[in-house]
Amino acid sequence: MLRSPNKQYCSDPDISRLSEPHNITVRKRKHDDDCSEELKHLTSNIANKLDTWKAEIQNNISQIKKDLESVLKTDFDKLNTSFSEVKSEISCVRLEYQEIKKSMQSLKLKQEETIEKVEDLEKSVQFHKSLETRIKFLENEHKLLKIELNSNYQRDRLLNLEVFGVIETRNENLPDLILSIAKHACVKIDSDDILEVNRITPKNNVQGRPRNIIVKMKSRLLKENIISGIRKKHIMNQDLGIVGNTSRVYVNEHLTQFNKILFKKCREAANHKSYQYVWTKNGRIFVRRNDTSPVVQIKQEEDIARIV
């Protein structure tokens, strides 16, 4: 800081004091050497001060430089650490990306395999549906064929009677037994009306039960008349001259095995549903709830559901 130089002169600026002449002291003005000496002194002081300032400024700059270098170093170290962390994270991200890429590739392969399996499954389902349709068609065709064959077999038996419950005896005369049954049914026939008669072993033979008798008549009318007559008038073994046995004898149409089973199931269902009539005619099965109800023909097992 610059200071004003010390007073080197004795002059008093206050001129009011000049009113007193006796106090005035007359001095001579200094020479130029004195001024030069003062100037040198002032210049020296200024130079010293400038040097002091310069040194302070240099010290301040040096300290600022050190502080700045320290701050920069700290920040650089932090930045370097952060950069290392970022670099490490980038490496991790790259590894994760590679793993994800591999996973995506694997997933893509699995997806393609899944698509192929789905396509194969769709083809299998379509084939299965087509096969089911074909099987249903064949089953239906089989049922129709079975019904048709049964109808043909039953048609071959249109002239036949099947007699149940006639006790077997030694040297029995089957034609005479049939003549006796027809007579009991009030149907007049002779031996020529009986084309064929035999005992047959049933498919499900029961021990002690007599074998059934199959009779082929000359005409369907004779067969139906005998069945109708027997239904009106029960016949027993003793009525046929078989002494000592009072068991009942039954005469029905000669049904196929298919129709026998169907007729049995039909009677069970009709009895459960309180139907009054279940009968066969010309090998066909019919049911009727009562006298005012419509007649229902049963051709296959599915038709039994119509008995409601």
For the chain, what is the radius of gyration of the CA atoms?
69
Residue 99 CB-half CA count within 13 A: 6
Give the pLDDT band of residue 151 (cuts 50, 70, 90). Answer: very high
On whether the pTM is more than 0.85, the answer is no
Q: Give residue 158's pLDDT.
A: 95
Higher pLDDT, 301 or 21: 301
The secondary element (H helix, E strand) that includes residue 249 is strand 248-253
Q: In 30-75, which ranges are E strands?
A: none
Q: Give residue 2's pLDDT.
A: 46
- Which residues on adjacent β-strands are paired with residue 249? 235
DSSP code of residue 15: G
Give the pLDDT band of residue 112 (cuts 50, 70, 90). Answer: confident
Give the pLDDT band of residue 287 (cuts 50, 70, 90). Answer: very high
3-state secondary structure of 160: strand
- Say if CB 166 and CB 247 are below 8 A apart: no
Q: Does the pLDDT of residue 293 top 90, yes or no?
A: yes
- Say if CB 236 and CB 264 are below 8 A apart: no
Residue 118 CB-half CA count within 13 A: 6
Higher pLDDT, 2 or 211: 211
**Beta pairing class for 212-217 and 160-164:** antiparallel
115-132 average pLDDT score: 87
- pLDDT tens digits for range 160-179: 999 999 999 988 999 999 99
- pLDDT tens digits for range 219-276: 999 999 999 999 888 899 999 988 878 899 999 999 999 999 999 999 999 999 999 9
